[in-house]
Structures are given as structure tokens and as C-alpha cells.
Amino acid sequence: MNHKNFKNIDKVTYGRGSFSQLAATVEPIRAENKNYFVYIVDNYFKGKTLSNNLQNKSEDLVYFIDVDPNEPTTEQIDSLRDEILSKKGLPSGVIGIGGGSIMDIAKALSLMLTNEGSSTLYQGLNLIKKPGVYHLGVPTISGTGAEVSMTAVLTGPEKKLGLKCDWTVFNQVILDPELIASVPTDWWFYTGMDTYIHCIESHNGIRNNAFSLAYGDKALDLCRDVYLNENSGQNSANDDKLMVASLMGGLSLTYSEVGVCHALSYGLSKILGTRHCYANCIIFQHLEDVYKEGVDEFKQMIRKHKIELPQNLHKEWSDDTITKMANVSYNLPFMWNHAFGDNYKEIATIDYIKDLFRRL
């Protein structure tokens, strides 16, 4: 058995108002390279209070990036990297402020600033050749665990796959629950459910262990407070909890593995462009036979927050589309192995996976 050996975030600041410490936190790093920072900020914040409080200096480059409707692409990272290097040379660091999409852009950009060629060359595990520049993440929507993970997921012409290595992990994360207050209720639900599903999948499979279970159990307790228990809903006490749940759910899956829902979700996102967290919700509701208790509880949360998920999507899909999605999912053997054990190949056949897509 090969035991996982992962790098964690170097430093984490947590607490209401902690975003105000951003400039002081990065000041010592400013001496590196060409003495300026690149800010990658979710376009949602353009013109909002946060954009006036970036604490940037005049030499810094600030990019507001629209993450809707497409998830980050290899092409986007490559052209951003080329533009930044030709404008000002190698920055001291990259600061990402936004959701999972912005976290991934900041992580990928940090690596691609020092690694030559297209990011498509580095989609996969440990393909990156040199450490990137310093990178700091400030999540503004919670659930994906992208703030803690060792991957920067990019959609390329060939595949949707992360730049995955120790150097991908943030040097610093600032967790300020005040920043997630403005998330619209539907996204609050879908993205938070990504954490819930990470934990259910991490727990229900052969790779779970006391370490992944400890993080996952705590994250599930926090999710139940946020989405199910008496004081559930979007409020400041729950925002405090959701931010921590997201990080712990990410650590749970890192030390275990995700499963059937995520394998299908990758197929749906790659072929039809459905957003990760939304795709997970669309799929998870139909996995009662795999994750009985988790799906029952998920449905209670759906009812409680009056979330409407689309049904009968498969009626619009040709067999060709379903086959393409199934092929993407099939090629994630770690997930199927974790979910179904060592004889997973007998269970998770292409036909079985196509049938799962026909449930949606």
C-alpha cells in the first residue's frame, strides 16, 4: 500500500474581517522577483466594496475575471501568463480572490509563470517541472475545497484535468467568512453540497481511514448545522462554519478519494459544460443505491431550502452524448476502485455508467 504524502497550505488566517490583513501578510514577499503582485479577482466584485479594499499598490496588476459560464481553461491561463510576463516580468506572487474557479486560475497561473510552454503539457500528476511563484487564496464562496487542494482544475482541448503537484498548494489562505455573505442562495447550496458529497464519498469507499474520517465527520457535522439543523440557512454563524467545513471536506477527500458522483460529474462537465457543484447535485439525487443515507439526507436539505433540481435531462441526450460522458467517467479508475473495491471493473462497466447517466 502506498500511503499518501501530501503538502498542506503553508499558512492559514481565519476569522471575520481577516481580509483586512492581506497587504500586511504579503508585504515580506514583495521583495521577490519584479516586486509586484498579480491580483485575480472574481468579476462579481468589480465596483463592490471589496474591490476598493484590495490593498494593492499602484505597481500591482489587477485582473477582474468573469467566471461565468465557463470553467477555467488551459488557453485562458496560457494567454494570461504570456500577457503578464511580457508586461512586467515575473511577479512576486499571485493573489486569487473568488470561488473555486478563481482559486484554480490563481494556482495554475502561479505554476505557469515559471513553467514553459502550454499548460496542457502539465495536466496530470507531478508533471510540473519547477515551483511556481508565491500564491495566496481568498475564497469568497465555500464548498469545493479548492482553497486546500493540490490541484488546479483546467479544461483543455483534450481533457478536463488538474495541474496536480505539491507546488500547486497555496502558500497562504485567508478565510474571512464575511466574504461569503453575498453568495446567491442557489450557489450557496450547490457549492456547499460539494463539501457534503466530498465527505459522503470519502467515507464510503475502501480508501477511508481514521485521518480522512476525522476531517470528514467534522465537516459533515458542520454541513448539517448549515443546511439541516434548527438554525440552518445563510447567516453569519453558519458562514463561519461553512468555510471551515469546505477546508476539512477537502482534506478528507485528499486523504481518501471521491467516488461515483464525482466520476459522473467529470463526464457531465467535460461533455456538456455543466458546472462542477451543480452537476454533483443533479447526479447525487439519483445515487440512492450507492450512498443510501447520504442521498436521503441530501434530499431533506433540498426540501428544506426549496431547491429545484432539473429532472429527465437524459431525454434530451443522444446515445452518442451519453457514451462520450460515460467514457470520461470510466477513465477515472481511482474513484470507481475506491467506491466499489478491488473488483470494480466488473461493476463499473461502460454500460453500467451509461445507465447511471440515463437516470439523470
Return the one option of Zn ion, ligand NAD, none that residue 101 interacts with (CB less than 5 to 8 A, by type): ligand NAD
* Count of chain residues binding Zn ion (CB under 5 A): 1
Three-class secondary structure of residue 38 per DSSP: strand
Provide the binding-site residues for ligand NAD, judged by CB under 6 A: 42, 44, 67-68, 71-72, 98-102, 104, 140-141, 144-146, 149, 151-153, 179-180, 182-183, 187, 191, 276-277
Return the one option of Zn ion, ligand NAD, none that residue 192 interacts with (CB less than 5 to 8 A, by type): none
Return the one option of Zn ion, ligand NAD, none that residue 289 interacts with (CB less than 5 to 8 A, by type): none
Rounded least distance, CB 67 to ligand NAD, Å: 5
Q: What Cα–Cα distance (Å) separates residue 224 from each residue in 8, 233, 251, 288?
A: 26, 10, 18, 19
Rounded least distance, CB 146 to ligand NAD, Å: 4
60 makes contact with Zn ion (CB under 5 A): no
What DSSP string runs through 162-186?
Answer: EEESGGGS-SEEEE-GGGGTT--HH
Nearer to ligand NAD, 187 or 211 (CB): 187
Nearer to Zn ion, 93 or 99 (CB): 99
What are the backbone dihedrals phi and psi of residue 64, each rounded to the nearest 5 degrees, phi first? -95, 120
How far apart (Å, rounded) are the C-alpha atoms in residues 240 and 242?
Answer: 6
In the structure grid, which three cell numbers stand for residue 359, read together?
Answer: 437516470
- Binding to Zn ion (CB under 5 A) within 182-201 occurs at 194
Q: At which residue does the C-alpha cell 511556481 appear?
A: 132
Q: What Cα–Cα distance (Å) separates residue 232 from each residue in 45, 55, 117, 242?
A: 26, 34, 47, 11
Rounded least distance, CB 159 to ligand NAD, Å: 13
In the structure grid, which three cell numbers stand for residue 246, read together?
Answer: 469546505
In the structure grid, which three cell numbers stand for residue 73, read together?
Answer: 481553461
**Which residues of this chain interact with Zn ion, rule CB under 5 A?**
194
